[in-house]
Structure 1
Amino acid sequence: MSDSLLFHKTYLHPTSKDWVVFVHGAGGSSSIWFKQLKAFKPHFNLLLLDLRGHGRSNNMFRDMVKNPYTFKTVTTDIVQVLNHLKIQSAHFVGISLGTIIIRNLAELAPERVTSMVLGGAVTRLNTRSQALVKAGNLCKHIIPYMWLYRLFAYVVMPQKNQRESRLLFVNEAKKLCQKEFKRWFKLAADVNPLMRYFKEKDLSIPTLYLMGDKDYMFIKPVKEMVTCHPFSKLTEFENCGHVCNVEKPEEFNAHTIAFIQQNINNKQQIAA
């Protein structure tokens, strides 16, 4: 695999021409989708990838070490993989910060995005999360990054039933180096300006938000976003937190597969 490409893995379906691309969040990797693979394989071609600096993409982009990350550059990494695999368009499924990257991809190259499923979507940082980011920015040079990451993981996923999600992301984050963590951490400052723009501009791309009703830091802004965008809808999972694909995998899989299949059927009907 080329050093200029993200690490990626495909699962090919014997007959389907439809692709589903999974995008993880900051500090994670493609391994967070382990509860989705079995359910999705019988229906679609699948593409899993590790964002730059994460998982098995952690040794790539050595020529970019000194350059700050932007949502545009991180999004372009995914487009390069799509081009490499000759995937013209796909259905995108994301979690947490990965939802922003998918939404940015839909802005930069809307013809590549057939539909979006945004789980634990980040559409705005509230006052508490902004304060955490600012505090983290002040301390990131003097406090070990894993201390900061554990703190963020606990604040975002504080409940007992979210323990599996916390541990999963903390264990994945251990694979990041300090410098890599800082580069991704700086992206947090760009979230609110970017999402204000996205809120004002709706795209005619079918979008499903999947949120836990206990995802108290992010669910309110999503509800506000959905009221502004006629092509978007929201499904809430009871007694569920931020990482809903891990906490409620059966519900997550069922709603996502049904949504994608509905959009495939609609597209076929229009074509006919």
Structure 2
Amino acid sequence: MNNMLFYKTYSHKQSKEWVVFVHGAGGSSAIWFKQIKAYKQHFNLLLLDLRGHGKSNTMFQDMINNNYTFKMVTKDIIDVLNHLKIQSAHFVGISLGTIIIRHLAELAPERVQTMTLGGAVTRLNTRSQLLIKLGNISKHILPYMWLYRLFAYVVMPQKNQRQSRHLFIREAKKLCQKEFKRWFKLATDVNPIMKYFKEKELMIPTLYLMGEHDYMFLKSVKEMIKRHQNSVLTQLANCGHVCNIEQPEAFNRYSIDFIQQHSQTSLAN
């Protein structure tokens, strides 16, 4: 189908549980390379590239709409679920992908068994809002990769985050200028939508996995956790924003345990 996201699946002979991985803006399904081996031992996996990203970068070119919305991007994923006849799944996301998962849970809560939100974006702080404003002013002047490199260094500044930075910059190079602008504009909608999500908790088990050095987003997650009864926070030591790459073993261990605790198979036993 021309307007369906690129996806890849890994089947498990015994398990009926599905795990869907959702990357962030500028990334692709390639960022989950440190999760696949561990996860496919337990679950069926679905990895996808969001519109304009990775191998979905040639899609939707015939669309008239200039801007994307979280609802549009979320419905792309639901279309893949319907195509594969996956009724419900566990969702694992990183960075801006966590907002998409949360939006999917709002639109179709019956499709979401659990949410594992790594490097979760729950609010843009003052520094990140200034970056967005700077980007909006200069996005028609500066090459988009200059802006993306700047954001990557601000969000992931430490030496042990070098691999994460390089991976995201490499994947972002696959975005065209128009796609970058569309996703950049989408980022400006984060605070209004997350204010609503903060006030309304869903009855879906949620695990926040945050690096202890994720200074841009950890604080707001801690504040949200205090309000929500179905959410737990686990902080990963010596780790920044992209915790699935910086601390993959810990990320895999905590998230797989969480999913198994809340899987339909476990609940049935």
TM class, shorter-chain normalised? over 0.9
Aligned mates of 1:192, 1:52 — CA distance in 2: 22
Name structure 2 gaps, 5 residues minimum. Answer: none
Q: Give the equivalent residue in structure 1 for 2:249.
A: 250
Asked if the contact 2:260–2:266 (Cα under 8 Å) also holds between the matched residues in 1, the reply is: no
Question: Runs of 4 or more off by more than 6 Å in structure 1?
Answer: none
Q: Is residue 101 from structure 1 mapped to residue 100 from structure 2 by the alignment? A: yes
Aligned mates of 1:226, 1:5 — CA distance in 2: 35
Aligned mates of 2:265, 2:25 — CA distance in 1: 35
Q: Percent identity?
A: 74
1:268 Cα shift? 4.8
Aligned mates of 2:14, 2:267 — CA distance in 1: 21
* Alignment of structure 1 residues 1-272 onto 2, 5 Å: 2-64=1-63, 66-264=65-263, 267-268=264-265
Using structure 2 for the length normalisation, give the TM-score: 0.98
1:195-237 C-alpha deviation (Å, 9 max, x unpaired): 0000000000000000000000000000011110000000001
Aligned mates of 1:141, 1:62 — CA distance in 2: 20
The aligned amino acid for 1:206 is P
1:269 Cα shift? 6.4
1:163-216 C-alpha deviation (Å, 9 max, x unpaired): 000000000000000000000000111000000000000000000000000000
The aligned amino acid for 2:13 is P
1:3 Cα shift? 1.1
Distance 1:251-1:270 versus aligned 2 partners, 3 A rule: closer
Using structure 1 for the length normalisation, give the TM-score: 0.97
Distance 1:66-1:269 versus aligned 2 partners, 3 A rule: closer
Cα RMSD over matched residues?
A: 1.0
1:67 Cα shift? 3.0
1:57 Cα shift? 0.1
Secondary structure of 1:183's aligned partner: helix
1:62 Cα shift? 1.6
The aligned amino acid for 1:261 is Q
The aligned amino acid for 1:86 is K
